[in-house]
Structure 1
């Protein structure tokens, strides 16, 4: 079920890496923000014409996501806010705050332009979080995470949430060494940073022994290739793989939603 649409305020901003800017959102509007699983996302809305308080239709409360989406898409294109989906990097419920990492694309799209200039006091529209898609399919000995830089916030949050004693292997593709981040948590985690060729890196990997639960996210065609490799070449059962195509080359968020 979609949560109510709300306007949230930037309370902090810092540059995590040359291409990643972390914005903190806080205030009473987030007091009822539910605890989020690492894979959950929110939808953010940016005024198409620079509106400081972008408006979209409120969800009806009946849980019909497509009804809301049709009403959103029925808005005149010239005034319909841009919509983008983001993982929650960290949720601090006691402070009514969430952190979201923005990957600053070279093309300078609407979300990049807004995030690059955002400062405390700026406002953005928010809908979410979306329901978690994670499931515990059965026993496994370790976890595999693989994704590009768009999946880095979710992978980082997932690794931080693993309990002590858990084992994980993560392959994360980033542009270069400057984009590498320190990922901390109590689990036994081996992080491999990849600079191009994520599918090849996973294909060439020596996996630990024992059954694995895999989590894949990033550009849709790459995720598809990773999943095909794990099923066809590694023999993983389909229900032991969670996957999501966060973006597609030359496709907008609205086209992905459709």
Structure 2
């Protein structure tokens, strides 16, 4: 972390308290630890960096003692020692006791899966109380890793996310003032992954259960959104998060076809089809 970031973000040593299966493709892992007394976040789509132990190890190998140079020291570790780093969003933060929830999408953990699970899915599927992790998270509540920020005067919020964005989307919905007009589209892999939506906003949420054809982009969501009649609005705000290819198509729709000011569109690519997070991290930013 750079010097300026070190004031807003820090390492947290945590352990698993419990796991809760939310659906066929989703599991919630609850973490605790003395360090969480110093964890502060306004929620919404709060981004986190989670470090899980390398295969066959019980301790996440993260050179915290390297201070600001931790990343270079982490990259230099042998593969068999280096912790696996993955990006997630905060689902819940609770006090007394201090706990956080992170929801994981389980890809490929089934015995007959066409594509084998990655290390994070394998870890989350078997996570048990006491399992140790490291996490980089916020030490101040309002920080740059929160992207969902409807400007003052917003009179319509439009949202799309796939299952990887589900925790961020639902957490953001929960923060909106009562009566805020919202139209949201959420894609999940299985109807069993559909969750209850708790919000005081005037939210119309459309759940889309996608097929497994592996089609690039998100033609199903794009079609549903194109066909949707939206309430009139002078200052709409758009938040898009999930697979990068789908997100770009939807952004083009809202800006090019709906005429929404591109400055009022927030888009966050959580993953890219065909790439691991390691490969995505090496890609130049768009």
Separation in structure 1 between the aligned mates of residue 225 and residue 195 of structure 2, nearest angstrom:
20
Q: State TM-score, norm by structure 2.
A: 0.83
1:72-99, Cα deviation, whole Å (9 max, x unpaired): 3232333221111111111114431111
Counterpart of 1:250 in structure 2 is 274
Counterpart of 1:206 in structure 2 is 229
Counterpart of 2:201 in structure 1 is 187
Verify the 8 A CA contact 1:5 1:59 in the aligned structure 2: no
Cα distance, 1:213 vs structure 2: 0.4
Counterpart of 2:190 in structure 1 is 176
Cα distance, 1:7 vs structure 2: 2.2
Q: CA RMSD in A?
A: 1.9
Which of 32, 36, 40 aligns to 1:30? It is: 36
Verify the 8 A CA contact 1:146 1:215 in the aligned structure 2: yes
User: For this pair of structures, how many residues does the alignment match?
Assistant: 254
Q: Cα gap change, 1:192/1:25 in structure 2, threshold over 3 Å: closer, same or farther?
A: same
Q: Are residue 122 (structure 1) and residue 131 (structure 2) matched?
A: yes
Verify the 8 A CA contact 1:7 1:53 in the aligned structure 2: no
Cα distance, 1:45 vs structure 2: 1.1
Q: Are residue 85 (structure 1) and residue 87 (structure 2) matched?
A: yes
Cα distance, 1:70 vs structure 2: 3.5
Which of 50, 53, 65 aligns to 2:59? It is: 53
Counterpart of 2:102 in structure 1 is 100
Q: State TM-score, norm by structure 1.
A: 0.91
Q: Gaps spanning 5+ residues in structure 2: where? A: 109-115, 139-143, 211-219
* Equivalent runs, 1:132-151 vs 2, <5 Å: 132-151=146-165
Instruction: Name whichever of 183-192 and 42-51 sits farther off.
Output: 42-51
Q: Cα gap change, 1:54/1:82 in structure 2, threshold over 3 Å: closer, same or farther?
A: same
Separation in structure 1 between the aligned mates of residue 65 and residue 223 of structure 2, nearest angstrom:
42
Q: Gaps spanning 5+ residues in structure 1: where? A: none
